[in-house]
């Protein structure tokens, strides 16, 4: 299947054209079009260990908000984080982020390894008590910033101290990155430092450009999900 | 002449004698060593004249060798005003002096010094404005003369960056006190950042002499540096200058081409002292320098600062200078010690033993030059405070080292809120009343001579080298009535030059205190604002961020030839094509006659859910929503507490407890914040979500829109009965889950389709394909604005201002009168009881005349009675239409108003009933 033809892919990242211009080789995951790798001779896995930037905007994710959110999650076998601004890996490898006392975000990381968009998660509907779904899949784009220089990169863009010993694995910051609102989640991949960054979908191209520009100093580069999975040793 | 003053090793700890570097100064090739600064390399080659002063173009040379004065400002190719005593030399570097006419050595501008008596302090406040118009001539002359260096306008920008940094403790100053403080903090477990503005750690240990052992400082430095380097929790930044302190220990640090934005839990200021001037006739001659400058030249750069020296002493540190000069082979003709009795410090004794003549109770009364360099000094006995005997002795010398006192580097501490306190006994300022989490490193005692100020009948005893201010200038400023030191600063510009009062603050405080009969403690010094050291424009500009928001359909607009404009942070298509007038007209007619497609993704979207959702909306909007039926849309007008219209949109009821509210593109963030703020008070059981970015929106509009849309829809009907005007439906469009609103902003049959953001482009493509046979085309926001104007709809922010209320807008219909409460309701009741002061009306003007523009004034004789808010030539109506605020007396349909279009001509217009187009609203309800 070719994803170069717009009409064959319903959902594409806001950065699709940029990826094409950089020789991206696409792969379908969970109903979305992801960059698997870029058509070049660079070692993306090595880059991801040093400083890599990966577009995961089409990764399935869901939000839940409302006074009954925590109770709803507990009742449906989720393991919500104990405190706001923390993240916990679920038994199925998905990440559940607690954004406030009663607001959560679920990143379906497990779906990176599956070609098809299988079942939607069990998630509250429109009339499910006082827990309500939030449209997080489309409101935000999602990037992964990986590698040993990732925290230093953020020091050029973000006023929060994200150094490894100050911003531990599992911490979440709701802050400003390059002057746009962003959620920064530290979730290391098999020992490799990794931050997920979510910002408004409308700001996707802007923030991507900012990150690329800032990472030049550290010789970072964009990578596809193959490199990310290699680093994380995610089940193929 | 090459490096004739260079001393052998081990003098010159910073230079690498194995690497010779050649550069140009004033067209002359000069050699130095790697590690030299421009000033040290020139001094090594016996070139002491660096620059010309700002006002009198006096020759100036090395003063501090620490980058603390304006004497060493030079021009590089591409960069003006560089500190020659801080800027390293590099191969091929081209350097010139600044602020001269002719040549640096023969500056025609120095003639102005002969007219100094006619140019007293503040002379420019009293001259150049008569006769009338004279200023225009003078200002051109002044502008030519102003400034020092020259900006190279062909210079290509370089990469400057900014970076946040964090630490537990920042120690500012890498001298012995700073290193000790850093080690202590690190030992206690703190993460320490140690800042040193020079290239190596050590501070005064690198050049000063605290005792007779020339190696003592070297050994102490080695020990401290080793301890610092061994401490894993200490990070050292050299060539890093802390330029400012801001709230909560936010410290700006310049290092290379990067501005570090540092946040520290604690600041420890160990920036030490700045050696101070003595004031005597010609105290600015090249060859007169601080004692510490001579020591720096000798020890850091291996440069002999002169052949025969006089040392002007006011404390024992001066004798350390004497010993260093002797060690460097400089003949010390005399030590002129201002103190009546010299101390028993071992350095004094050692100097005496080495045959140096000490003249206690004496001062240097004047310096005399030859070929723009010091040639001799006139020494006189001190007979009173600031007074010398009538005669003295002249001593030939080419170097005068001044070591009479110091001033703490107080600037950062005072920015943090500390105060300076003058102690009469030590004749020095100290820093007191430190704020929390701000400490000073352990200070050492340095003696100040209390009054190293000796006025001369011919003046030229400079207080401020930057601005060529003499003793008389400061005194005269107080005599002119400017008695407060802050006023003296502003009147005289003392301390406002590049060195920011580092050397002028103390003598100015002394002089003002004496002239006004107050104490120095009462007089104080002027405010030290950031930056402490020069910041380049590159540092300020650096990495800056200008967020740009793009809709999911952005690239389709570009491909369709859209001219994009930025509305707030959003990029939006203004119109499609190269000819705006034609494009907008065609786009308007397309919508009126067939079908067009408008990207409305930027429209704000807020979801309101929960048992109290309807009640919440009832409170925040003027309309009523409790009984709104699911599946319907209602207009929403928002007022603030004062009854001023601040936003509008529509409220869609998707379910009994579920609403989707639209807000204006530019207003949604503020609306959402307001909603959160209000509900924080009301505590209603409601959940608010700003979902603006979650959905892309496309408005397919025009009489043919239904026919185009219908084949793409699944799960609902789009016909008039099943989906009437002001309805909302959810279903599938082109395979995409969608929510559709029937609203009439542009006054035609239309469907506003909201889909998940990532599907926006797919929806756009599907609609364009489906409408191809109907000639569908994209429509920009300029046409949309015109379409809504034809329909008489206001745009909040364009047709409203910070005072507009619903009555002025003739929108009383949007206020629900039976509600108990809504934000602004009480204010509107009050406003309604008062007569209106203005009304927004529609007007039509002669199509053959000029088209008035927004903000053109409505006039009635000599009175201004209103202003135009929107106006355009209407392709649909073929006449000029607009909206304007007018006096209520002129608001009745049929009234004629005059619009001042360019200050000379007026356009006559008639007030008409609104809307201009489709008054019965039949087209939007098709």
Go through the domains of chain B in sequence order and give each one's CATH number.
1-157 (3.10.20.440), 161-271 (3.50.50.60), 273-409+442-452 (3.50.50.60), 461-529 (1.10.10), 554-601+694-788 (3.30.1360.120), 836-926 (2.40.30.110)
Structure-model confidence comparison of residues B876 and B120, the more confident one: B876
Q: Across the interface, which of A10, A66, A140 has its CB nearest the CB of B735?
A: A10
pTM of the model: 0.90
Q: At the topology level of CATH, where does A43-236 sit?
A: Gyrase A; domain 2 (3.30.1360)
Distances (CA, A) of A147 to A64, A231, B640: 30, 9, 48
Cβ distance B95 to B38 under 8 Å? yes
CA–CA separation, A35 vs B494, rounded Å?
Answer: 63
* Percent of chain B at pLDDT exceeding 70: 100
Q: Which residue of B has its CA nearest to A65?
A: B687
Q: Across the interface, which of B263, B545, B694 has its CB nearest the CB of A135?
A: B694
Q: Which residue of B has its CA nearest to A6?
A: B762
CA–CA separation, B825 vs B819, rounded Å?
Answer: 9
**What's the confidence (pLDDT) of residue B747?**
92
Cβ distance B792 to B842 under 8 Å? yes
3-state class of B178 per DSSP?
helix
CA–CA separation, B878 vs A5, rounded Å?
Answer: 43
Distances (CA, A) of B141 to B109, B110, B137, B466: 13, 16, 7, 20
Q: Do A126 and B685 touch (CB under 8 A)?
A: no
Q: Across the interface, which of A67, A178, A205 has its CB nearest the CB of B550?
A: A205
Q: Do B545 and A158 touch (CB under 8 A)?
A: no
- Hey, which residues does B486 pair with through a beta bridge? none
Cβ distance B774 to B594 under 8 Å? yes
Q: Do A155 and B164 touch (CB under 8 A)?
A: yes
Cα B293 to its chain centre, rounded Å, is 33
Range A131-143 average pLDDT: 92
Q: Do B655 and A126 touch (CB under 8 A)?
A: yes
Range B120-144 average pLDDT: 84
Range B334-341 average pLDDT: 97
pLDDT tens for residues B535-570? Answer: 988 999 888 899 999 999 999 999 999 999 998 899
Q: Do A139 and B161 touch (CB under 8 A)?
A: no
Residues in chain B with CB shorter than 8 Å from the CB of A166 are 166
Helical pair B613-620 and B668-682, crossing angle rounded to 10 deg: 120
**What's the confidence (pLDDT) of residue A9?**
46
CA–CA separation, B705 vs B103, rounded Å?
Answer: 78
Q: Which residue of A has its CA nearest to B685?
A: A67
Range A164-175 average pLDDT: 97
Q: Across the interface, which of A58, A127, A130 has its CB nearest the CB of B758?
A: A58
* Percent of chain B at pLDDT exceeding 90: 88
Residues in chain A with CB shorter than 8 Å from the CB of B611 are 130
Largest CA distance in chain B: 115
Phi, psi of A36, rounded to the nearest 5 degrees: -80, -45
pLDDT tens for residues B180-239? Answer: 999 999 999 999 999 999 999 999 999 999 999 989 999 999 999 999 999 999 999 999
Cβ distance B242 to B196 under 8 Å? no
Shortest CA gap A234–chain B (Å): 26
Largest CA distance in chain A: 53
Is the pLDDT confidence value at A4 over 60? no
Q: Do A134 and B689 touch (CB under 8 A)?
A: yes
Residues in chain A with CB shorter than 8 Å from the CB of B658 are 126
Print the SS3 string covering B292-360.
HHHHHHHHHHCECCCCEEEEEECCCHHHHHHHHHHHCCCEEEEEEECCCCCCCCHHHHHHHHCCCCEEE
Residues in chain B with CB shorter than 8 Å from the CB of A203 are 547-549
Q: Do A161 and B164 touch (CB under 8 A)?
A: yes
Average pLDDT over chain B, rounded to an integer:
95
**What's the confidence (pLDDT) of residue B127?**
84
Interface test with B, best of A9, A138, A212 (most B CBs within 10 A): A138
pLDDT category of residue A7 using cuts at 50, 70 and 90: very low
Shortest CA gap A111–chain B (Å): 18
pLDDT tens for residues B436-491? Answer: 999 999 877 778 999 999 999 999 999 999 999 999 999 999 999 999 999 999 99
Shortest CA gap A135–chain B (Å): 6
pLDDT tens for residues B776-800? Answer: 999 999 999 999 999 999 999 999 9
Write the DSSP assignment of B494-508 as a string of letters.
TT-STTTTTTTHHHH
Q: Across the interface, which of A139, A155, A180 has its CB nearest the CB of B691?
A: A139
**What's the confidence (pLDDT) of residue B145?**
78
Q: Which residue of B has its CA nearest to A206?
A: B548
- Across the A:B interface, residue pairs with CB atoms under 8 Å apart total 119
Residues in chain B whose Cβ is within 8 Å of chain A: 161-166, 261, 263, 543, 545-552, 555, 570, 601, 609-611, 654-655, 657-658, 685, 687, 689, 691-695, 735-736, 756-759, 761-762, 765
- Choose from A57-66, A109-118, A166-175, B521-530 the range with maximum mean pLDDT: A166-175
Shortest CA gap B708–chain A (Å): 19
Is the pLDDT confidence value at B347 over 60? yes
Burial call B167-187: b when 16+ CB within 10 Å, e when fewer: bbbbbbbbbbbbbbbbbbbbe
**What's the confidence (pLDDT) of residue A121?**
60
**What's the confidence (pLDDT) of residue A193?**
95
Q: Do B762 and A158 touch (CB under 8 A)?
A: no
Write the DSSP assignment of B584-645 as a string of letters.
HHHHHHHHHHS-EEEE-TTSEEEEEESTTHHHHHHHHSSS--TTPPTTBEEEEEEE-TTS-E
Task: Scan for tokens 């001042």, then name that residue.
Answer: B900
**What's the confidence (pLDDT) of residue A1?**
31
Range B888-915 average pLDDT: 92
Which residues, 6+ apart, have CB-to-CB distance to B371 below 8 Å? none
Shortest CA gap B367–chain A (Å): 52
Is the pLDDT confidence value at B655 over 90? yes
**What's the confidence (pLDDT) of residue A119?**
54
Q: Across the interface, which of B161, B547, B689 has its CB nearest the CB of A206?
A: B547
Phi, psi of B795, rounded to the nearest 5 degrees: -110, 120
Q: Which residue of B has its CA nearest to A32?
A: B758
Pick the closest to residue B736 from B754, B722, B718 (CA basis).
B754
pLDDT tens for residues B798-857? Answer: 999 999 999 999 999 999 989 999 999 999 999 999 999 999 999 999 888 889 999 999
Q: Do A203 and B570 touch (CB under 8 A)?
A: no
**What's the confidence (pLDDT) of residue A2?**
34
Cβ distance B814 to B860 under 8 Å? no
Q: Which helix (H) or strand (E) holds A32?
A: strand A32-38
First-to-final CA distance of chain B: 96
Q: Do A206 and B735 touch (CB under 8 A)?
A: no
Shortest CA gap B87–chain A (Å): 24
């Amino acid at each position: 299947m070719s994803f170069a033809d717009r009409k064959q892919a319903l959902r594409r990242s806001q950065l699709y054209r940029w990826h094409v211009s950089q020789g991206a080789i696409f792969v379908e995951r969970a109903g979305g079009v992801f960059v698997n790798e870029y058509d070049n001779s660079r070692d993306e896995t090595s880059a991801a260990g040093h400083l890599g930037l990966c577009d995961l905007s089409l990764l399935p994710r869901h939000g839940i908000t409302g006074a009954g959110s925590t109770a709803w999650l507990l009742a449906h076998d989720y393991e919500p984080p104990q405190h706001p601004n923390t993240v916990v890996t679920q038994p199925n490898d998905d990440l559940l982020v607690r954004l406030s006392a009663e607001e959560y975000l679920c990143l379906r990381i497990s779906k990176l390894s599956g070609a098809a968009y299988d079942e939607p998660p069990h998630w509250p509907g429109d009339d499910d008590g006082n827990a309500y779904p939030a449209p997080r899949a489309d409101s935000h784009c999602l990037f992964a910033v990986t590698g040993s220089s990732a925290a230093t990169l953020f020091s050029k863009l973000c006023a929060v101290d994200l150094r490894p010993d100050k911003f531990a694995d599992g911490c979440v910051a709701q802050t400003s990155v390059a002057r746009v609102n962003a959620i920064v989640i530290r979730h290391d991949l098999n020992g490799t430092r990794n931050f997920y960054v979510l910002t408004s979908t409308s700001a996707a191209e802007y923030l991507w450009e900012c990150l690329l520009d800032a990472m030049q100093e550290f010789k970072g580069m964009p990578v596809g999900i193959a490199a990310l999975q290699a680093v994380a040793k995610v089940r193929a | 002449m090459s490096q004739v003053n260079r001393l052998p090793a081990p003098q010159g700890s910073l230079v690498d004698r194995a690497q010779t570097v050649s550069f140009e100064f004033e067209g002359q090739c000069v050699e130095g060593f790697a590690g030299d600064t421009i000033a040290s390399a020139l001094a090594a080659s016996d070139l002491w004249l660096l620059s010309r002063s700002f006002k009198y173009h006096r020759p100036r040379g090395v003063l501090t060798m620490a980058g603390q004065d304006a004497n060493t400002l030079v021009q590089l190719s591409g960069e003006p005003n560089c500190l020659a005593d801080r800027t390293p030399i590099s191969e091929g570097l081209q350097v010139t002096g600044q602020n001269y006419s002719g040549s640096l050595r023969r500056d025609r501008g120095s003639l102005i010094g002969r007219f100094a008596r006619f140019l007293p302090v503040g002379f420019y406040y009293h001259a150049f404005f008569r006769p009338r118009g004279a200023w225009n001539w003078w200002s051109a002359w002044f502008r030519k003369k102003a400034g020092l260096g020259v900006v190279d306008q062909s210079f290509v920008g370089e990469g400057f960056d900014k970076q946040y940094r964090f630490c537990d403790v920042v120690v500012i100053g890498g001298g012995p006190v700073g290193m000790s403080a850093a080690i202590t903090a690190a030992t206690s477990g703190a993460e320490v950042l140690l800042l040193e503005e020079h290239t190596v750690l050590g501070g005064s240990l690198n050049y000063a002499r605290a005792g007779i052992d020339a190696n003592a400082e070297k050994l102490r430095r080695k020990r401290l540096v080793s301890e610092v380097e061994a401490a894993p929790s200490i990070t050292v930044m050299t060539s890093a200058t802390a330029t400012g302190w801001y709230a909560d220990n936010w410290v700006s640090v310049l290092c290379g081409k990067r501005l570090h934005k540092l946040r520290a839990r604690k600041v420890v200021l160990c920036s030490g002292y700045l050696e101070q001037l003595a004031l005597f006739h010609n105290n600015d001659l090249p060859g007169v320098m601080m004692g510490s400058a001579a020591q720096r030249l000798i020890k850091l750069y291996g440069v002999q600062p002169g052949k025969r020296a006089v040392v002007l002493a006011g404390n024992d540190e001066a004798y350390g200078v004497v010993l260093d000069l002797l060690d460097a082979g400089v003949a010390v003709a005399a030590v002129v010690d201002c103190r009546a009795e010299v101390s028993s410090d071992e350095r004094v004794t050692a100097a005496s033993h080495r045959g140096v003549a000490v003249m206690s109770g004496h001062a240097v009364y004047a310096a005399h030059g030859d070929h723009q360099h010091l040639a001799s000094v006139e020494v006189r006995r001190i007979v009173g405070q600031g007074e010398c005997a009538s005669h003295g002795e002249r001593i030939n010398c080419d170097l005068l080292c001044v070591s009479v006192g110091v001033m703490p580097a107080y600037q950062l501490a005072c920015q943090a809120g500390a105060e300076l306190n003058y102690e009469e006994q030590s004749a020095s300022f100290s820093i007191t009343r430190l704020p929390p989490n701000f400490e000073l490193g352990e200070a050492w005692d340095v003696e100040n001579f209390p009054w190293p100020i000796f006025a001369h009948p011919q003046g030229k005893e400079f207080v401020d080298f930057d601005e060529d201010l003499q003793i008389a200038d400061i005194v005269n400023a107080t005599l002119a009535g400017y008695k407060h030191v802050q006023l003296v600063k502003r009147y005289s510009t003392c301390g406002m030059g590049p060195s920011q009062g580092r050397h002028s603050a103390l003598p100015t405080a002394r002089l003002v205190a004496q002239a006004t009969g107050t104490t120095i403690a009462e007089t104080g010094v002027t405010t030290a604002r950031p930056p402490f050291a020069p910041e380049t424009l590159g540092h300020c500009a650096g990495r800056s961020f200008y967020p740009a928001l793009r809709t999911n359909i952005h690239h389709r607009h570009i491909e369709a030839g859209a001219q994009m404009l930025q509305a707030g942070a959003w990029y939006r298509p203004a119109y499609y094509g190269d000819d705006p007038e034609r494009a907008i007209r065609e786009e308007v007619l397309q919508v009126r006659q067939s079908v067009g497609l408008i990207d409305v993704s930027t429209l704000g979207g807020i979801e309101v859910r929960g048992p109290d959702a309807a009640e919440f909306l009832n409170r925040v909007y003027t309309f009523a929503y409790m009984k709104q039926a699911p599946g319907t849309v209602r207009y929403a007008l928002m007022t603030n507490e004062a009854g001023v219209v601040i936003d509008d949109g529509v409220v869609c009821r998707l379910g009994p407890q579920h609403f989707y509210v639209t807000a204006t593109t530019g207003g949604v963030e503020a609306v959402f914040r307001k909603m959160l703020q209000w509900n924080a008070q009301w505590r209603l059981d409601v959940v608010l979500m700003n979902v603006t970015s979650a959905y892309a929106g496309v408005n397919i509009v025009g009489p043919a829109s239904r026919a185009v849309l219908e084949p793409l829809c699944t799960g609902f009907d789009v016909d008039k009965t099943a989906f009437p005007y002001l309805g909302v439906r959810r279903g599938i469009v082109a395979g995409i889950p969608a929510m559709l609103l029937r609203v009439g902003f542009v006054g035609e049959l239309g469907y506003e389709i909201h889909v998940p953001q990532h599907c926006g482009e797919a929806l756009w493509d599907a609609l364009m394909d489906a409408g191809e046979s109907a000639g569908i085309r994209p429509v920009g926001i300029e046409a949309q604005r015109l379409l809504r104007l034809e329909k008489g709809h206001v745009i909040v922010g364009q047709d409203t201002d910070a005072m507009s209320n619903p009555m002025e807008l003739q929108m009383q219909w949007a206020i629900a009168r039976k509600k108990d409460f809504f934000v602004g309701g009480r204010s509107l009741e009050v406003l309604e009881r008062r007569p209106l002061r203005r009304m927004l009306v529609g007007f039509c003007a002669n199509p053959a005349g000029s088209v008035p523009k927004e903000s053109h004034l409505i006039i009635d004789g000599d009175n201004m009675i209103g202003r135009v808010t929107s106006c355009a030539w209407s392709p649909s109506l073929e006449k000029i239409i607009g909206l304007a605020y007018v006096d209520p007396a002129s608001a009745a349909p049929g009234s004629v108003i005059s619009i001042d279009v360019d200050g000379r001509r007026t356009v006559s217009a008639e007030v008409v009933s609104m809307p201009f187009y489709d008054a019965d609203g039949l087209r939007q309800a098709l």
